[in-house]
């Protein structure tokens, strides 16, 4: 509406300005209304999608917590770690899962299980960094390069290393989530870290 008033105030001759405004007023008002409605719809869709992902993340986290609750309390060893790794692998829909203590690989399931063998000493700098600093380490394979330290042809392309803390808050090992080289981590899985 303001645009129409500006056209009438500035354009000369006045009769041509009135004719122009009468020709474009209705289409312009309809277009502006439709544009505003589409913009509002985009905002509402974005909010709905955020809520959907938030609830999906919460449901996944709760399901994982319920499925793994108490397993590691039975002992932080290869057998119990493998049970937890298999639950995570199934629930998170990722390339692979590994669990380490401070020195060696306790469990591995998924892509690369032919060379990521339980009992091997930790050789990944990302795992060692997570244990040393107590912070989550993410190597996306693009901005932060990831290369398997065990096998040059490994199909894993990115990793998220999450420190595991014991009752005294000391890092006792890690949970490592992996994705294949041709697949990106979902934001839900990154948020788990």
We report the CATH number of the domain holding residue 135 as 3.30.450.40
Which has more pLDDT, 52 or 81? 81
Among the candidates 69, 94, 121, a domain finishes at 69
Structural domain of 44 = 1-69
Which of the residue ranges 44-58, 125-139, 174-188 would you say has the lowest mean pLDDT?
44-58
Residues in the chain: 193
Q: Are 32 and 3 in contact (CB under 8 A)?
A: no
Rounded CA separation 148/123 (Å): 9
Q: Are 90 and 60 in contact (CB under 8 A)?
A: no
Residues 13 and 1 both lie in one domain: yes
Tokens of 49: 């999608």
Rounded CA separation 86/97 (Å): 8
Residues 25 and 83 both lie in one domain: no
Which has more pLDDT, 83 or 48? 83
Which has more pLDDT, 7 or 67? 7
Residues 79 and 121 both lie in one domain: yes
Does the predicted model carry a pTM greater than 0.85? no
Which has more pLDDT, 145 or 108? 108
- State residue 168's pLDDT score: 81
How many domains is the chain built from? 2
Residues 180 and 89 both lie in one domain: yes
Residues 32 and 61 both lie in one domain: yes
Q: Are 38 and 48 in contact (CB under 8 A)?
A: no
Rounded CA separation 64/165 (Å): 17
Query: For residue 119, is pLDDT > 50?
Result: yes
- State residue 187's pLDDT score: 46
Residues 51 and 80 both lie in one domain: no
Residues 78 and 159 both lie in one domain: yes
CA distances from 95 to 9, 101, 187 (A): 65, 21, 15
What are 85-112's pLDDT values in tens digits? Answer: 888 888 888 899 999 999 999 999 999 9
Among the candidates 35, 69, 103, a domain finishes at 69
Rounded CA separation 192/45 (Å): 24
What are 66-86's pLDDT values in tens digits? Answer: 556 666 677 788 988 898 888
Residues 162 and 105 both lie in one domain: yes
| Sign of the alpha-carbon torsion through 41, 45, 48, 50 | negative
- State residue 121's pLDDT score: 95
Residues 105 and 35 both lie in one domain: no
Confidence class for position 53, pLDDT limits 50, 70, 90? low
Residues 114 and 27 both lie in one domain: no
Residues 170 and 150 both lie in one domain: yes
Residues 82 and 160 both lie in one domain: yes
Query: For residue 120, is pLDDT > 90?
Result: yes
């Amino acid at each position: 509406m303001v645009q129409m008033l500006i056209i009438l105030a500035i354009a000369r001759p006045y009769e041509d300005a009135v004719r122009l405004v009468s020709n474009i007023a209705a289409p312009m008002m309809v277009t502006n209304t439709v544009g505003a409605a589409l913009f509002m719809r985009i905002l509402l869709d974005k909010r709905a999608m955020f809520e959907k992902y938030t609830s999906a993340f919460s449901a996944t986290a709760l399901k994982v917590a319920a499925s793994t609750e108490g397993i590691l309390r039975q002992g932080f060893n290869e057998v119990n770690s493998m049970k937890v790794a298999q639950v995570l692998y199934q629930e998170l829909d990722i390339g692979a899962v590994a669990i380490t203590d401070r020195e060696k690989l306790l469990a591995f399931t998924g892509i690369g299980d032919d060379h990521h063998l339980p009992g091997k000493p930790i050789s990944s700098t990302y795992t060692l960094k997570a244990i040393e600093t107590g912070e989550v380490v993410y190597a996306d394979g693009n901005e932060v390069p990831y290369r398997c330290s065990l096998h040059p042809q490994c199909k894993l392309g990115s990793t998220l290393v999450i420190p595991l803390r014991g009752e005294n808050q000391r890092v006792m090992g890690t949970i490592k989530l992996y994705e294949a080289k041709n697949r990106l981590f979902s934001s839900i899985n990154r948020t788990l870290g």
